């Protein structure tokens, strides 16, 4: 099939590459000329395991192309996917300006029947708005070309997006048209072979399903973080609790890892947008608003533990950070807990020396050159002669640490583990103070230097 994908961000690029990889002819459209030029040179502007190779392979064989020519993209394709960004407005609602701009462009240039597919995460009712914009634009042109609008939400996890697309748990199509459903079934057929994973429903239910899925997962995370805070005050170990409740098949082990808060492009934005939608129809979504509050609070826990370790004396200290991305296998730092921590440390007069396997360029893009931020060449370079080490992201390479080396090379024997990677007993055996999430923080001996002691040395 001939497909046009409007938007070459995370969702659009993964969708385009995966469809091209099974033989569809895909044209990616974006108004960002620099981004398109980058893609034409074979460079992928985001990190996602396997994506660069898939893009290169399909661009080389001619099944995947990139352009800024929107009219060409509309005339070329029988299926037009809208996969542009829907960033949050100031009130938490989703900004639909990019989605509706694409709809307007479609209305200006379609010359025959097209199926328009909403892939962006959007509030309920957006497909109706897209249809209205296309219809009104066609009317203004004085033409009457047939078109369909349906919803096909994405369920991609950063770090495993290609696996999620190629081996989906479900493929949701929101439409009341049997012909549209048949066409989308054919489009997804290569990824729908073992058993039929395609689920059809009305458009509004499909739009809500995406928000409901992310809100449910975010709720599990915030629930576990709240349990961790309770466990810490009761002298319980939240990791033991996690194993205990995760063994219940009704609960399961996924998304019940306590930590320093969720981030990224989806959960924070989508929880806020769904809560905002609820308010707009006169319903108070108390649970959703609590999920967001718990997460916002949790992002400040790491700074609080550092302050506890140093009796509030962070002025002039250097803190090592392992991990900047909001999760492993991505370079995405949007709403990452690391950013909340770094900005709090800078406000307290501390310096940061950070390392991340993939997010160093992204950190530089966000913060540029500054005297209180060093992007280190390795985890060891970040930690050596730092006053304390904080783990913000659970990259695999951080899961096994040389605690003897850390004890010898940290100026103060302090580890703040925002992802509960280590066994507290093993860490403390090496003479390190260990502060984790819901596991009982170390009782501080007289081993942490004061500012006066450091100055005397």
Query: Which residues are known catalytic residues?
Result: 266
Question: In 127-166, which positions are buried (b, 16+ CB within 10 angstroms) versus exposed (e)?
Answer: bebbbebbeebbeeeeeeeebbbbbbbbbbebbbbbebbe
Contacts of 229 (CB under 8 A, 6+ apart): 301, 438
Structure tokens that stand for 457 in this block = 């040395």
Q: What is the C-alpha separation between 176 and 366, in angstroms, rounded?
A: 44
């Amino acid at each position: 099939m001939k497909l046009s994908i409007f938007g070459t961000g995370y969702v659009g690029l993964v969708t385009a590459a995966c469809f091209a990889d099974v033989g569809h002819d895909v044209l990616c459209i974006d108004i960002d000329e620099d981004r398109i030029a980058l893609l034409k040179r074979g460079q992928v502007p985001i990190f996602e395991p396997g994506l660069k190779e898939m893009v290169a392979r399909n661009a080389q064989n001619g099944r995947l192309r990139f352009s800024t020519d929107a009219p060409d993209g509309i005339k070329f394709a029988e299926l037009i996917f809208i996969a542009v960004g829907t960033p949050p407005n100031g009130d938490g609602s989703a900004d639909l300006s990019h989605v509706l701009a694409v709809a307007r462009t479609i209305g200006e240039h379609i010359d025959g029947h097209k199926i328009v597919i909403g892939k962006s995460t959007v509030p309920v009712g957006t497909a109706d708005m897209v249809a209205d914009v296309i219809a009104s634009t066609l009317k203004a042109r004085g033409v009457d070309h047939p078109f369909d609008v349906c919803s096909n939400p994405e369920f991609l996890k950063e770090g495993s997006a290609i696996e999620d697309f190629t081996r989906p748990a479900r493929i949701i199509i929101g439409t009341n048209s049997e012909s549209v459903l048949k066409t989308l079934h054919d489009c997804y057929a290569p990824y729908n072979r073992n058993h039929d994973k395609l689920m059809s429903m009305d458009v509004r239910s499909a739009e809500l399903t995406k928000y409901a899925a992310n809100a449910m997962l975010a709720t599990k995370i915030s629930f576990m973080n709240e349990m961790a805070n309770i466990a810490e005050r009761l002298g319980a170990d939240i990791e033991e609790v996690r194993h205990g409740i995760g063994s219940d098949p009704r609960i399961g082990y996924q998304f019940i890892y306590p930590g320093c808060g969720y981030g990224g492009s989806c959960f924070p934005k989508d929880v806020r947008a769904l809560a905002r939608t609820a308010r707009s129809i006169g319903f108070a979504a108390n649970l959703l608003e609590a999920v967001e509050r718990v997460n916002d609070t949790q992002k400040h826990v790491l700074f609080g533990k550092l302050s506890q370790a140093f009796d509030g004396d962070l002025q002039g200290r250097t803190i090592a950070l392992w991990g900047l991305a909001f999760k492993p296998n991505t370079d995405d730092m949007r709403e990452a807990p690391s950013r909340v921590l770094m900005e709090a440390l800078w406000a307290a007069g501390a310096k940061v020396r950070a390392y991340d396997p993939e997010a160093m360029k992204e950190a530089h893009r966000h913060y540029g050159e500054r005297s209180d931020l060093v992007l280190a060449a390795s985890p060891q370079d970040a930690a050596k002669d730092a006053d304390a080490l904080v783990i913000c992201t659970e990259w695999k390479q951080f899961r096994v640490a040389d605690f003897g080396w850390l004890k010898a090379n940290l100026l103060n024997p302090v580890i703040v583990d925002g992802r509960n990677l280590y066994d507290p007993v093993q860490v403390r055996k090496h003479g390190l103070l260990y502060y984790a999430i819901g596991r009982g923080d170390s009782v501080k001996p007289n081993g942490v230097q004061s500012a006066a002691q450091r100055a005397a040395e």
